[in-house]
Every structure is written in structure tokens, then in C-alpha cells.
């Protein structure tokens, strides 16, 4: 009897990883097929960013630094879309740049789609500066003048000939910067854009990166954090309540993915519990 | 000369970048911007060097038929195909709808997104194996991880308590540890920079 129990506990402890993969795969698929509503608790660090954008006047300029590649799309694209839609709906002008080599396509995807939705014109309502390597150098140079690292925009037009850029020289002329990033670029934005040039900064990062940046939130170097898909869902929730995005138009992508993330987390927790029960019970039997 | 020259360049530029921060004069601003231009130019050459290095390594593996050389053929084919498509005359390669952006949107994005999606499976398996309450420290890690993970799970009336606990973990112990970590990194970086500028650390010259 004890031998049978011991075998069961050993099985619980040393489950073949293929079972884990199978269960995760089944749970993700089932939740995608039959989603349910997950309530989202909005954290103050996300609300701060939303409220800041909300407080901006039409014609003011917000800068978005997009520093992620397709691998982080699922987490970061939704917040990028939500912020861009909120800004365009409010008549806020956007200045975009990219410091990740695979990021230009990400910006292009968002801006091409959302500008069409709101009839916004390149050079008048938004300017996409494009990509430059070496984030630290580029940020330092932008702090002097956007024209140093980016004499032309992404599409090859001289910045001086763009109406929106007439009165924009450097970070002093943008109300705030939101850096959406899946890598180390965020540290450069904090160190140089905020540290050296005192730019008002908020960040949107992947879930695993979020805990790294809480010290900067407390120290006041950043005024908000949107953490991963959960943070994006919080932002979408606020943006939907504000009337900037709509469920009917399928614009709440992070919110829609929350059930999958929720069930996957529950399954992971259950596996951890299973392993630990097996571990303690086998110790007891032995 | 081979040692003195790089050492002099590193020391002078290092000291200049350090000092200019504290001297708000126009000449220093100009020099600073000039240095930034130099860094970008050097970086561009470093990219060319990287391109050459990757091509050289891949070609030599293919020539010698080293096991797995087929992957190098794919790497080279991908590299030069994307490069050629990017330089096709008569079209702006970075605008949506161009051949280059089609490659990005219909090959690169799905491939990278799929690769990253696999992480969910690996993380689940790794969490199942790693989070065992074998010691007190491992138990603290396990409990913290579960609380943070439960942040995403609706728990009814317990959600508020769990949110409070998760926020506490993130903003108190996590922040204290991260702050200590960042201070350590800062001090380490300063010490390394000083060692390089003073010529104590010379491994960047290719020898110790």
C-alpha cells in the first residue's frame, strides 16, 4: 500500500514534461474557443498614465518610444494601440521613434492603421522619426535636438519641412514620453531622457520586466508603468470607459486575451501545488 | 604604439565624457555632439564588421561541411535575400506594402511570435520543476511567485487582499532588492570605467 502511495507521490513530483505541455495546450485552446469575462483591477501606475494623457490638451505633443520586436507583440502591441487611439481621439499630436532594430515595422503597423481610423495626416498630426541604432547615443542626441539623430523622418522627409515639427526642437517641447519596450532601452530612457534632460517619462514593459522598474516609479523618475498584457488590459479598460476604444470594433485585444492568461496561470499554479504535495507526501512516507 | 594609442583614446574620451557633464559651456556642448556623431559612425562600421564576420563563419562552415552546415546555408540565403529585397531600386523599402515589409509582416512576425509563444510551455514546465518548498528561502520564493501569479486571476472577494499582497511584494521587498542591485551595478560600472580609463583593465585591447 505504502509502495503504491510512494509511486503516486513520485509520479506527482516527476511528471513527464509532455503532460505539462499537453495540459497547457488544451487549456489555451479551450479558453480561446470559449472565452469568459475576467474582471480587471486597474492599478494606480496604469491609471496615472491614462490620466496624464487624459489631461493633455488638443495640439499638445506626446512622444512614444517603441522599442520592441514581434516577439513581444502580444504583450506590448495592445497598449501601443490603446494609447495611440486615445491620443488621436483627443487631438493630441504624436511623435514616434524606434530604438529597436526590429521595431520600425511595429510602429508602422500601428500608426498606419490608427491614423487611417482617425483621418490623421503624417507630418501634421503625427511624425514618425524612424529607427536609429545605439539607444543611449540617440536619446542623448534627441535631448539636444531631434534633428541630430533624425534629420529626416521614417519616410525620408526633412523634419524642418514637416508642419508639426516647426516648434519642436527637443524633449522640452513634448509633454511627456511613453517608452514601450521589451528590452534594455527603457534603462536608457530613464537614465538619459529623464536623468539628464528631465523629461517626464512613463513606461510600458513586458510582464517579466515590470518588477525591475518599480524603484523608478517610487523615486519619481517615471510616473507610471503599464506591465505586460495585464497592464495593457487595464489601460484598455480605462480607454473603453473613456469612449476611445470599442469592444464592438474588436479593439480590446489585451482584454480579450486575459481569460487565456488567467487559465494558464491557474494551471501553472496547480502544477506547482501538485509537485509540492507530491514532494511533501513522499517525504512523509519515506 | 599598439597599446598606447587605444589607451590614450579611451582615457581622453572617457575623461571628456565625464567632465563635460559638469561644464555647461557651448564649446563642450559642440564637442559632446561631435563625439556622439563619432560613436554612431564607429557603430556603423561595427555593424559591417558583424556582417562580414557572420558571412565568413557561415561560409567556412558550409565549405568544410561541418555538421549542421545546412542551417548556415539558410542563414546566408535569408541574410542576402532580405538585403537584396531591401535595396530593390524604385521602391521605398520601409513603407507598408513594400516587398521588404511583406517579408517582415508575413514571415518575420509570425516566426518570431510563434517562437516566443513556445515559452508558455517551457515556463510552465520549468515552474513545475523549480518551485519546490525544499528550504525556507525556496518556500518564500514559491509563495511570492504564487501571489504574483494570482494577481491575474479573479478570486472574488480575495482579489483585493491578493492585490494588496502583490503590491506589497513588488513595492517593498522587490524594490529594496532591485535598488540594492542597481546600486551595485552602478558602483561596478563606475569602478570598471575607472579601471579602463586608468589602464588597469586592458582586456578590450584583445589581450590581458
Q: What is the pLDDT along chain A (286 residues), one digit of tens a residue?
A: 566 767 888 888 888 999 999 999 999 999 999 988 888 888 899 999 999 999 999 999 999 999 999 889 989 999 999 999 999 999 999 999 999 988 888 898 899 999 999 999 999 999 999 998 889 889 988 998 999 889 999 988 999 999 999 999 999 999 999 999 998 899 999 999 999 899 999 999 998 898 888 889 988 999 999 998 989 999 999 999 999 988 888 888 898 888 998 899 999 999 999 999 999 888 887 7
Same domain, B74 and B140: no
Q: Is residue B129 part of a domain?
A: yes
CA distance B195 to B182: 20
Secondary structure class of A252 (helix, strand, coil): coil
Domain enclosing residue B156, as ranges? 120-171
Q: Are both B138 and B69 inside the same structural domain?
A: no
What would the mean pLDDT of B149-171 be, rounded to a whole number?
A: 81
B108 to each of A69, A102, A154, how far by Cα in Å? 10, 9, 20
Q: Looking at residue A95, what is its pLDDT?
A: 97
Residue B190 domain-assigned (yes or no)? no
pLDDT computed for residue A2 by the predictor: 62
Nearest to B175 among A214, A230, A264 (CB): A214
Are B81 and B125 found together in one domain?
A: no
CA distance B128 to chain A (A): 5
Residues 6 or more apart from B134 whose CB is under 8 A from it?
A: A279
Q: Is residue B130 exposed (0-12), middle (13-18) or buried (19+ Cβ within 10 Å)?
A: middle
Q: Provide the pLDDT for residue B202.
A: 83
Q: Choose among A230, A110, A111, A279: nearest CA to B154.
A: A230
pLDDT of residue A173: 95
Is A74 within 8 Å of B113 when comparing Cβ atoms? yes
Do B62 and B5 share a domain, yes or no?
A: yes
C-alpha–C-alpha distance, residues B33 and B26, integer Å:
11
Residue B142 lies in a domain: yes
Q: Per the structure, how many domains does chain A have?
A: 1
Q: Please, are residues A153 and A130 in contact by the beta-carbon 8 Å criterion?
A: yes
Judging contacts by C-beta atoms under 8 Å, the chain A residues touching residue B125 are 17, 20-21
3-state helix, strand, coil in chain B (%, to 5): 75, 0, 25
Residue B96, pLDDT score: 73
SS3 state of residue B134: coil
Q: Is residue A29 a part of any domain in this protein?
A: no
B127 with B79, same domain: the answer is no
Q: For residue A213, which of A180, A190, A236, A196 has the smallest C-alpha distance? A: A190
Q: What is the DSSP string of A107-137?
A: HHHHHHHHHHHTT--BTTTEEEEEE-S-HHH
Q: Is residue B177 part of a domain?
A: no
CATH number at residue A130: 3.40.50.10160
- pTM for this prediction: 0.84
Banded model confidence at residue B61, pLDDT cuts 50, 70, 90:
very high
**In this complex, which of A102, A156, A268 lies closest to B124 when CB atoms are compared?**
A268
CB-based contacts of A238: which residues, under 8 Å, 6+ apart? A42, A46, A47, A50
Is A3 inside any structural domain? no
Evaluate whether residue A21 is within a structural domain: no
For chain B positions 107-126, those within 8 Å of chain A (CB to CB) are 108-109, 112-113, 115-117, 120-121, 123-125
Mutate to test the interface with A, among B18, B43, B125 (most CBs of A within 10 A): B125
For residue A265, give the nearest of B44, B125, B149 by CB distance. Answer: B149
The alpha carbons of chain A give a radius of gyration, in whole angstroms, of 23
| pLDDT for residue A9 | 84
Residues B78 and B7 in one domain: yes
Alpha carbon distance A169, A167 (integer Å) = 6
Shared-domain flag, residues B152 and B82: no
- Percent of chain B predicted with pLDDT > 90: 33
For A19, the grid coordinates are 503532460
pLDDT at residue number A156: 87
The reply to whether B18 falls in a domain is yes
Chain A residue with the nearest C-alpha to that of B109: A70
Residue B24 belongs to some domain of the structure: yes
Say if residues A65 and A185 touch (Cβ distance below 8 Å): yes
Q: Looking at CA atoms only, how far is residue A87 from chain B in angstroms? A: 22
Highest mean pLDDT among A57-71, B5-19, B153-167: A57-71
| Residue pairs between chains A and B whose CB atoms are closer than 8 Å | 141
**Residue A17: inside a domain:** no
Residue A14 within a domain: no
Give domain status of residue A151, yes or no: yes
pLDDT at B49 over 90: yes
**Which among B20, B85, B124, B133 is the top mutation candidate for probing chain A, defined by the most A β-carbons within 10 Å of its own β-carbon?**
B124
More confident residue, B206 or A219: A219
B113/A102 CB distance under 8 A: no
Is the Cβ–Cβ distance between A54 and A242 less than 8 Å? yes
Residue A39 in any domain: the answer is no
- pLDDT surpasses 80 at B207: no
Phi/psi for A250 (5° steps) reads 60, 45
Statement: residue B94 has pLDDT above 80? no
Residues B80 and B149 in one domain: no
Residue B2, domain member (yes or no): yes
Across B62-85, average pLDDT? 93
* Domains: count for chain B: 2
Q: How far is A57 from chain B (nearest CA, A)?
A: 31
Contacts of A283 in chain B (CB under 8 A): none
With cut-offs at 50, 70 and 90, classify the pLDDT of residue B119.
Answer: confident
Q: Find the domain containing A186 and state its range.
A: 44-258
- Segment B112-130 shows an average pLDDT of 89
Cell of B83: 538585403
B150 touches chain A (CB under 8 A): yes
What is the pLDDT at residue A60? 96
**Highest averaged pLDDT of the listed ranges A47-56, B42-51, B90-99:** A47-56
Q: What is the mean pLDDT of chain B?
A: 87
Burial class (CB in 10 A: 0-12, 13-18, 19+), B183: exposed
**Does the residue B99 lie in any domain?**
no
Burial group, residue B118, by CB count within 10 angstroms (0-12, 13-18, 19+): exposed
Q: Is a pLDDT exceeding 80 seen at residue B12?
A: yes
Selecting from B33, B94, B124 the residue whose C-beta is nearest the C-beta of A20 gives B124
Write down the pLDDT at residue A155. 86
Cβ of A258 within 8 Å of Cβ of B104? The answer is no
Contact A130 B104 (CB under 8 A): no
Residue A276 with chain B: CB contacts under 8 Å: 131-133, 142
Is A272 a member of any domain? Answer: no
Amino acid at each position: 500500500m505504502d509502495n503504491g502511495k510512494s509511486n503516486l507521490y513520485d509520479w506527482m513530483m516527476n511528471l513527464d514534461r509532455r503532460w505539462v505541455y499537453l495540459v497547457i495546450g488544451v487549456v489555451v485552446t479551450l479558453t480561446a474557443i470559449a472565452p469568459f469575462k475576467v474582471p480587471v483591477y486597474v492599478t494606480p501606475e496604469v491609471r496615472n498614465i491614462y490620466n496624464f494623457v487624459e489631461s493633455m490638451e488638443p495640439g499638445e505633443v506626446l512622444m512614444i518610444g517603441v522599442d520592441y520586436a514581434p516577439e513581444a507583440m502580444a504583450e506590448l502591441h495592445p497598449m501601443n494601440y490603446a494609447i495611440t487611439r486615445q491620443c488621436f481621439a483627443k487631438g493630441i499630436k504624436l511623435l514616434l521613434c524606434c530604438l529597436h532594430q526590429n521595431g520600425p515595422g511595429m510602429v508602422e503597423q500601428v500608426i498606419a492603421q490608427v491614423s487611417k481610423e482617425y483621418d490623421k495626416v503624417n507630418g501634421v498630426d503625427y511624425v514618425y522619426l524612424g529607427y536609429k541604432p545605439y539607444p543611449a547615443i540617440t536619446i542623448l542626441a534627441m535631448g539636444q535636438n531631434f534633428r541630430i539623430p533624425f534629420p529626416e523622418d521614417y519616410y525620408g522627409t526633412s523634419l524642418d519641412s514637416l508642419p508639426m515639427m516647426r516648434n519642436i526642437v527637443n524633449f522640452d517641447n513634448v509633454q511627456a514620453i511613453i517608452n514601450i519596450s521589451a528590452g534594455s532601452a527603457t534603462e536608457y530612457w530613464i537614465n538619459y531622457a529623464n536623468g539628464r534632460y528631465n523629461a517626464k517619462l512613463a513606461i510600458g514593459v513586458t510582464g517579466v520586466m515590470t518588477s525591475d522598474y518599480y524603484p523608478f516609479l517610487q523615486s519619481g523618475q517615471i510616473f507610471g508603468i503599464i506591465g505586460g498584457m495585464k497592464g495593457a488590459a487595464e489601460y484598455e479598460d480605462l480607454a473603453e470607459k473613456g469612449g476611445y476604444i470599442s469592444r464592438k470594433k474588436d479593439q480590446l485585444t489585451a482584454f480579450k486575451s486575459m481569460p487565456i492568461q488567467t487559465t494558464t496561470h491557474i494551471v501553472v499554479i496547480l502544477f506547482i501545488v501538485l509537485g509540492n504535495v507530491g514532494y511533501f507526501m513522499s517525504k512523509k512516507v519515506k | 604604439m599598439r597599446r598606447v594609442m587605444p589607451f590614450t583614446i579611451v582615457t581622453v574620451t572617457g575623461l571628456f565624457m565625464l567632465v563635460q557633464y559638469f561644464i555647461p559651456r557651448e564649446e563642450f556642448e559642440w564637442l559632446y555632439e561631435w563625439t556622439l556623431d563619432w560613436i554612431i559612425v564607429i557603430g556603423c562600421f561595427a555593424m559591417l564588421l558583424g556582417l562580414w564576420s557572420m558571412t565568413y563563419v557561415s561560409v567556412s562552415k558550409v565549405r568544410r561541411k561541418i555538421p549542421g552546415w545546412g542551417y548556415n546555408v539558410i542563414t546566408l540565403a535569408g541574410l542576402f535575400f532580405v538585403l537584396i529585397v531591401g535595396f530593390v531600386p524604385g521602391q521605398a523599402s520601409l513603407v507598408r506594402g513594400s516587398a521588404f515589409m511583406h517579408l517582415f509582416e508575413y514571415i518575420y512576425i509570425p516566426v518570431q511570435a510563434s517562437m516566443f509563444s513556445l515559452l508558455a510551455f517551457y515556463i510552465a514546465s520549468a515552474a513545475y520543476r523549480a518551485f519546490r518548498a525544499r528550504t525556507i528561502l525556496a518556500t518564500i520564493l514559491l509563495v511570492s511567485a504564487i501571489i504574483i501569479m494570482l494577481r491575474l486571476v479573479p478570486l472574488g472577494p480575495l482579489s483585493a487582499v491578493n492585490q494588496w499582497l502583490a503590491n506589497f511584494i513588488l513595492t517593498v521587498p522587490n524594490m529594496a532588492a532591485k535598488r540594492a542591485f542597481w546600486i551595485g551595478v552602478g558602483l561596478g560600472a563606475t569602478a570598471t570605467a575607472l579601471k579602463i580609463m586608468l589602464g588597469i583593465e586592458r582586456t578590450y585591447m584583445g589581450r590581458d
